[in-house]
Amino acid sequence: MELVYTLSGGAAYGYAHVGVLRYLEEWGLRPTAVVGTSMGAIVGGLYAYGYDSKQIQQVAEQVRSIEIVKLFFPSFPRGGIIDTDGIRDFFHGFIQDTLIEDLPIAYRSVAVDVNTGQQVIFDRGRLLDAMMASMSIPTVFKPYSFHGHQLIDGGVLNNLPWKVAEEFGRLHVVVDVAPKRREDTQRVLHASELIETAAEEKAKDEAKDEAKDEAKRQAAEKRRKEVSSQALSENQQSAFQKLEDRLTNGAFRIPLQKLVDTLQARETFAVKDLVNSFTRRPDHKAATLTLPEVITNVMAIINEQQTAEPEGGFLNTYAYIHPALEEYYLNDFNKSDEIIEQGYNEALTNPQFVQQVRKIAKKAGSR
């Protein structure tokens, strides 16, 4: 029977697809079709071309290491922060100009026409175009030009295209890596609640800081006593006391703090900071998000509204999994190995998913 994989969008979370694919390979499963959106379109495109999970992980490692700055270097083209030329050239090295209709595994990806708001399903033409159009996050990447149409990330309208996949068969594996928000997202918040919550968080942070300071003070006192217990000469004792007095009085601390304050007050733009914001985990206490973080989070909110879990039914059999990836950030592209491993472990230990995969494997005749 025909087996179809559906892979959702989810920025760096999409690396988890690779781990799930590795688990499915261990079952001896091979799809007859792959359908994906955004990062799912990228991973799915490489898989449909013929790369296995191990090889796709090697591609991800290249993105993580030497290629990341080149791929995400801001060029400020019309319509976005980053031109997709570097990313397109990178993937061209792996799939060349292969046509969708010539792939060993059937493939579909989803994009959106930014001018008309219509969903665009790639069912023929260059695989490279299908992958690039589907991953073009609005404002981060300029819209992808395709035969006179300007296309953006398919997650805007259809982040988990399992309905598109139903044209290919009745056995389905659906991997959803889109971030899941709190269950009470529909509840309206009032400013008073935000103020109270912020005050509570501030009090907790202050208590933690005080505890850390006290621990440091006790450690310093312990070290001081240990030093004092040694047979120091009178001159050594005097020098030690003078140094301790200078530290206590802030002779060293105050100039250093002034330097830090001066640097933090500067509002000069650094391209390096923008590049790093795509790949580095921000400080959880940061008051503001970087531009790429804001855009990616907004896309995640939109994706959630456009992500419908498969309904199943009498004719179709679905194995659905949603890996828990909350400990990572959507822009953690430099943590591919960790996220891939998380996807694999989730597939391996999720009893409902394992049960459904076993059922699919039995029907597909692989085990």
- 270-328 pLDDT per residue, tens: 444 544 555 555 444 455 556 556 666 666 666 565 556 676 555 678 999 999 998 88
Q: Does pLDDT of 258 surpass 80?
A: no
pLDDT in tens, 72-91: 555 555 555 666 777 888 89
Mean pLDDT of 242-259: 52
Of 171, 175, 178, the residue nearest 155 (C-alpha)? 178
Q: What's the full length of the chain, in residues?
A: 367
Task: For residue 22, name the pLDDT band (cuts at 50, 70, 90).
Answer: very high
92-98 long-range contacts, CB within 8 A, separation 24+: 92/128, 94/46, 94/49, 94/51, 94/59, 95/45, 95/46, 95/49, 95/127, 95/128, 95/131, 97/126, 97/128, 98/49, 98/126, 98/127, 98/128
pTM for this predicted structure:
0.70
What's residue 164's pLDDT?
Answer: 93
pLDDT(99) > 90: yes
- Span of 220-229, 265-274, 327-336 with lowest mean pLDDT: 265-274
User: 134 near 154, Cβ under 8 Å?
Assistant: yes
319-363 pLDDT per residue, tens: 999 999 988 888 888 899 999 999 999 999 999 999 999 999 998
No. of helices (H) and no. of strands (E), the chain: 14, 10
List pLDDT tens digits, range 37-68: 999 999 999 999 999 999 999 998 887 654 45
